[in-house]
Amino acid sequence: MKPLKFKEYIIRAERLSDAKGMVRLFNALVDENADINRNKKITLKEAKETLKEGVKNMKKKEGVYLAALKGKEFVGSVCVIKNHGKQSHTAGLGISILKPHRGKGLGEALMKAVIEESRKSLKGLEMISLGVFKRNKAAKNLYKKMGFKTVGVLPRVLKSGNKYFDEELMHYWLI
Ligand SMILES: CC(C)(COP(=O)(O)OP(=O)(O)OC[C@H]1O[C@@H](n2cnc3c(N)ncnc32)[C@H](O)[C@@H]1OP(=O)(O)O)[C@@H](O)C(=O)NCCC(=O)NCCS
Domain edges within the chain: 4-131
Q: Which of 84, 102, 89, 90 is nearest to 141 (CA)?
A: 102
Instruction: Give the nearest ligand 1 atom to 32 CA.
Output: 41
Distance between Cα 104 and ligand 1 center (Å): 9
pLDDT of residue 155: 98
Q: Name the band, by pLDDT with cuts 50, 70 and 90, for residue 43.
A: very high
* Domain 4-131 architecture: 3-Layer(aba) Sandwich (3.40)
Query: Is the CB of residue 36 below 6 angstroms from any atom belonging to ligand 1?
Result: yes
Whole-angstrom distance, CA of residue 135 vs CA of residue 28: 20
pLDDT of residue 122: 98
Distance between Cα 67 and ligand 1 center (Å): 16
pLDDT of residue 148: 98
Is the distance from CB of 32 to CB of 105 less than 8 angstroms? Answer: no
CA-nearest residue for atom 26, ligand 1, is 138
Give pLDDT tens digits for 57-109: 999 999 999 999 999 999 999 999 999 999 999 999 999 999 999 999 999 99
The single-letter DSSP state of residue 101 is G
Q: Which of 102, 104, 172 to mutate to test the pocket of ligand 1 (most atoms within 8 A of CB)?
A: 102
CA-nearest residue for atom 9, ligand 1, is 107
The arithmetic mean of pLDDT across residues 132-149, rounded, is 98
Distance between Cα 60 and ligand 1 center (Å): 30
User: At a CB cut-off of 8 Å and minimum separation 6, what does 117 contact?
Assistant: 1, 64, 66, 80
In this prediction the pTM is: 0.98
pLDDT of residue 3: 98
Is the distance from CB of 122 to CB of 91 less than 8 angstroms? Answer: yes
**Percentage of the chain exceeding pLDDT 70:** 100
pLDDT of residue 69: 98
